[in-house]
Chain A
Amino acid sequence: MNAINSTVRLQFDVDRLRAEFPILRQQIHGRPLVYLDNANTTQKPRAVLEALNHYYLESNANIHRANHLLSERATQAYEGAREKVRRFINARDVEEVIFTRGCTEAINLVAQSFARPRLREDDEILLTHLEHHSNIVPWQIVCEATGARLRVAPISDRGELDLEQLVALMQERTRLVAIAHVSNALGTVLPVGEIVREAHARGIPVLVDGAQAAPHLPVDVQALDCDFYAFSGHKLYGPTGVGALYGKRALLDAMPPYQGGGSMIASVSFEKTTYNTVPYRFEAGTPNIAGVVGFGAAVDFLISCDLDAVRVHEHELLGRATQQLAEIPDLRIIGEAHEKCGVVSFVYDDVHPHDVGTVLDQEGVAVRAGQHCAQPVMDRYGVPATVRASFALYNTAEDVDALVRAVWRVRDLFGA
């Protein structure tokens, strides 16, 4: 294992990568920026910024609806990004990739267009306790409308899902399992492949919330065999306001539209409207064209970084941070799953995470302090909030050391 790691490390040049992210060069409160809020949103490489710029400077026009050259360029750039995303997640057909406003909208789309028409009173949707609000609330909305219920699989003190307990909750009335691939608050990696197998053995479809996984783990939707996979662009080095939903073709074909408007129709009259085919049926109105183009550039960038090397690098950062933080007296790490990815959450003595966040910011270290849109997780651990440091491919061992030094400063100030 060591031999493999050192070989990979030789190929992975983090300084070269950092140079691609101009924003990282600045000082914050007189200290070098240490950006460890990547699970919130990542910074954007020059390639993405240039793609946005190039699109607006050279190609801007509306897509799919004009016969001039600019429109053709814009359409090609937009549809080209769809193919890039398809390749990134290894979907079979490019039509299985729907562009959305983000991961949240992707999940809402499935909730409204897939789940809602199928749900009857007393049907069940199965979640886990570690879900982000965006994989809870859309299901509550459809439950309220249909009389269906949420069932929630528990997590252990370490932040791990008990697969047996989840499977035990897959019952006759379970109509959908909706699970995170990676927990945004705890970093836990869920055994998504096994969950899909167990659910499919009972005829239950599965949606995977991949917002925190797609930037860090290989995603192969055909290997996972999940029915839906939702993720966002801005967490994987792309622009904000854009994301993607993967759905199996047969399911998408049978789903009614999510929103009505331009592009999503085949023909419209006041008597009857027929809908366009997938994916266009689900992309009403002029989409975030530049955002999608930037998303495609981000995917290209990420693939060019050697994903295996990125994974090893990020795993080392997580290990280093976990080990050094654990040495600080009265610091408690929240989420100690055997398999983790990208995130270390912690609370420090009785100092409120918000205060920790302010001290860290003063030291140039950007983290998120709060509930991470996962209030049930906070309640599970009996904490009002946590401090969360999250990693990206451009972070360094020095970043981790700066984080740990800054946490020691909290101790100086609050005299814990």
Chain B
Amino acid sequence: MSELRDLYQEVILDHNKRPRNFGALEPADRRAIGHNPLCGDKLTVYVRLDGTRVADVRFEGQGCAISKASASMMTEMVKGLSRDDIAALFESFHHLVTAPDAGDEGDHLGKLTVFAGVREYPTRVKCATLSWHTLRAALEDEAPQPVTTE
């Protein structure tokens, strides 16, 4: 059970139960759909832009605790950030959940470090990154195609 607590940290369980910034954003400048056919996770990310910065971001959809908490915490982290800041943050986050030697990005990632436990569960990496891939699609493309992590 203790190994599982490393994956399912209290913060993650809390964001799963009470996701922040959950629900559609109307009106939104950008919108993208992400889908993980392996487990059926599906979410939509909505973005309102202020120049190249994310003025507001929300998400809706269904998913496992990891994907929902990751989406929820992502929306909290990226508000006010520029596209480049977000790309750098995603890169660090991806490293955190995949690289065996990760662990020193603490300052940069802030509370996203609670997802470090995911790296012990390779099948769950896609859950943790689905919302990030979807946000990236929303930011990169004015009429994004649905992204899939398969």
Contacts and interface: CB of A to CB of B under 8 A. Distances in A.
B3 interface: yes
A388 to B, nearest CB: 13
A352 B127 CA distance: 12
A384 B40 contact: yes
A317 to B, nearest CB: 26
A268 interface: no
Contacts of A370: 38-40
Interface residues of B, number: 22
Interface stretch (A18-26, A110-118, A406-414): A406-414
B25 interface: no
Interface stretch (B59-67, B79-87, B135-143): B59-67
B38 A358 contact: no
B115 interface: no
B66 to A, nearest CB: 7
B39 A362 contact: no
B40 A378 contact: yes
Nearest to B13: A414
Contact of B64 (A352, A362, A371, A378): A352
Contact of B39 (A29, A385, A412): A385
A327 B64 CA distance: 24
Contacts of A369: 39
Given A378-B40, A385-B39, A354 B1 contact: no
Interface in B1-44: 1, 3-5, 7-8, 13, 37-42
Contact of B65 (A29, A352, A371): A352
A301 B3 CA distance: 39
Contacts of B41: 354, 384
Contacts of B65: 351-352, 355, 414
A346 to B, nearest CB: 15
A413 B4 contact: yes
Contacts of B7: 358
A355 B64 contact: yes
Interface in A340-385: 351-355, 358-359, 362, 369-371, 375, 378, 384-385
Contacts of B3: 29, 362
Given A29-B3, A354-B127, A358-B124, A413 B8 contact: yes
Contacts of A414: 8, 13, 65
Contacts of B127: 354
14 contacts: A352-B63, A352-B64, A355-B65, A358-B121, A370-B39, A370-B40, A371-B40, A384-B39, A384-B41, A384-B62, A385-B40, A413-B1, A414-B13, A415-B13
Interface of A: 29, 351-355, 358-359, 362, 369-371, 375, 378, 384-385, 409, 412-415
Given A352-B68, A384-B39, A384-B42, 19 more contacts: A351-B65, A352-B62, A352-B63, A352-B64, A353-B64, A354-B39, A355-B65, A358-B124, A362-B3, A384-B40, A384-B62, A385-B39, A385-B40, A409-B1, A413-B4, A413-B5, A413-B8, A413-B13, A414-B13
